[in-house]
Amino acid sequence: MRALARHDRLVTEVAGYRVLRAIGHGDRTRLVLGFAGDRTAVLKISGTDDERVRVELEALTRAAGDHVVTLEDVGLDEDEAVLVLERLRPGSLADLLERRAGLDAGEAVTILAPIAATLDRIHSVGVAHAALSLGSVCFRDDGAPTLVGFGRAALFAAGLPEVVLETVAGVLSDRSALRDLVALVLTRVTGPRADAARRLAAGLGDASPTSIAAALFDLAAASEIRFDADEESAVVPRLIGMIEPVEPEVARPAALPTWLVNLIPDSLRGNVEAVWARMHVIWAGWDQRRRRIVLGVAVGAVVLMIALTVVPGGSAAPVQANPAATPSASPPVSMPELPDDPLDAAPLLLDLRQRCIRDLSLLCLDDVDQQGSSGLGADRDLIQTIEAGGEYPGDGILAGNLTLIEELGDSVLIDLPDGSDPASILMMRTADGWRIRDYITKPPHAVVPGASSDG
């Protein structure tokens, strides 16, 4: 095998393919277009000492199937490794969005739903893409969206249950990137379903790939993708996407409201605009729960200021509180100092959880459950159900005689005593100490991490 250029000598053959032209390069790889017989292929060339080649090779082998770029062959010699990949049509999803001023809702469904389903599929076989972006979605000649760019892929045991998948860094990265990508594409939808697409983009939250795919099919029926450029945004397509992912665009900060601009002296306007832009970025990064809390505090402060302004100071006689008529307030719930041993920390967390539920305190749960976890969602739903008139469940979790079932990195699965509901808890070690991530009704007897047939 001869490389594209070795010792400054230009050659024309790689892994039995005649080199047509170079089409891309990265920090550790080069892409060339090769021709052999009656077909062309993309040749991804790297050094044989590059450990990432073996990971990428294994990832492509495990993930092989619909909507994943096909690994057609592998070439090795003493200096270089060559992955022979199927040739896709020119241009990535990033290029498509550059060429098109907007997409139909059906086109967005055709692009996004298969990618969401494919992520679920490759996670089930122990592969995380770990670099999902607009640039890592390309298209076959029939228009099928196809994942490329597995150079940063991560491998883990196949067949893991959902509660364990939620602790795998690559899986979490893929799911977060998918939500960002879906939201970005949906904001480009035009036509009758544009408003519905934007509502879906705004409400993704922590949605899983499966629920995202289902929501997309509810949005519109899939339709054929139009790849030709709009006249007002025509650009030259590029055959890129297998090396460096293209990051989604970041929304620009909103401009200052006109009424506020009119109140600000010119000498201070620059400083205020900088603060406003920073506030916009911070606000955009908060979830809906934190936004509601901040808005509630702000509204409360405004009401208090109005009350103090309307009621003249000293004009009213002090009112003596009637202890008999004043409901007794629960003592503030304080966060215990958690030990490092999860079996010692679990009883403290479970005890604090019960106090949070008895006091109907959503804020208290931040010291019990991991932020953004299904455990936090379940506890918040329970408190809101009780507030709406639902029955208090009692102390269903028994904290004695805990058993460590499984430990995987910073996560542990702990079995609770017989009679507890739920029967097990999944805990995560966070920067603030141990937190509960999920409550499991039945002990998991599915697949033990590391016990899969393909290792």
pLDDT digits over 126-155, tens only?
999 999 999 999 999 999 999 999 999 999
Beta bridge partners of 128: 154
pLDDT for position 10: 47
Contacts of 170 by beta carbon, 8 Å cutoff, 6+ apart: 128, 129, 130, 153, 154, 156
Query: What does the pLDDT look like over 326-335, one tens digit per residue?
Result: 333 444 445 5
Q: Would the pLDDT of 258 be above 90?
A: no
Q: Which of 58-67, 186-195, 385-394 has the lowest mean pLDDT?
A: 385-394
* 436 phi-psi bin (left φ>0, alpha ψ -120 to 50, beta other): beta
Q: Work out the average pLDDT over 325-344.
A: 60
Q: Which residue did the predictor score with more confidence, 161 or 24?
A: 161
Q: 434: part of which helix (H) or strand (E)?
A: strand 433-440
Q: Which residue did the predictor score with more confidence, 13 or 175?
A: 175
Do 433 and 414 form a contact (C-beta atoms < 8 A)?
no
DSSP characters over 80-131: EEEEEEEPPPS-BHHHHHHH-S-B-HHHHHHHHHHHHHHHHHHHHTTEE---
Q: 291: part of which helix (H) or strand (E)?
A: helix 288-310
Tokens linked to 401: 């005689």
Q: Work out the average pLDDT over 30-54.
A: 87
> CB neighbours (10 Å) of residue 182?
26
Alpha-carbon distance of 227 to 106, in angstroms, equals 14
Kindly report the pTM of this predicted structure.
0.52
Q: Which residue did the predictor score with more confidence, 349 or 302?
A: 349
Measuring CA to CA, how many Å separate 296 from each of 273, 280, 325, 367? 24, 18, 27, 20
Do 39 and 19 form a contact (C-beta atoms < 8 A)?
no
| Amino acid at the residue 134 | L
pLDDT for position 329: 40
Query: What does the pLDDT look like over 268-304, one tens digit per residue?
Result: 555 555 555 556 545 554 445 455 555 665 656 655 5
Tokens linked to 242: 């297998």
SS3 122: helix
Tokens linked to 405: 């079932």
Q: Would the pLDDT of 183 be above 60?
A: yes
Q: Would the pLDDT of 244 be above 60?
A: no
Q: Work out the average pLDDT over 43-49.
A: 88
Cα–Cα nearest to 114, from 3, 225, 20: 225
pLDDT for position 392: 66
Considering 4-13, 45-54, 104-113, the range whose residues carry the highest mean pLDDT is: 104-113
Q: Would the pLDDT of 47 be above 80?
A: yes
Contacts of 302 by beta carbon, 8 Å cutoff, 6+ apart: none
pLDDT for position 318: 45
Q: Would the pLDDT of 384 be above 90?
A: no
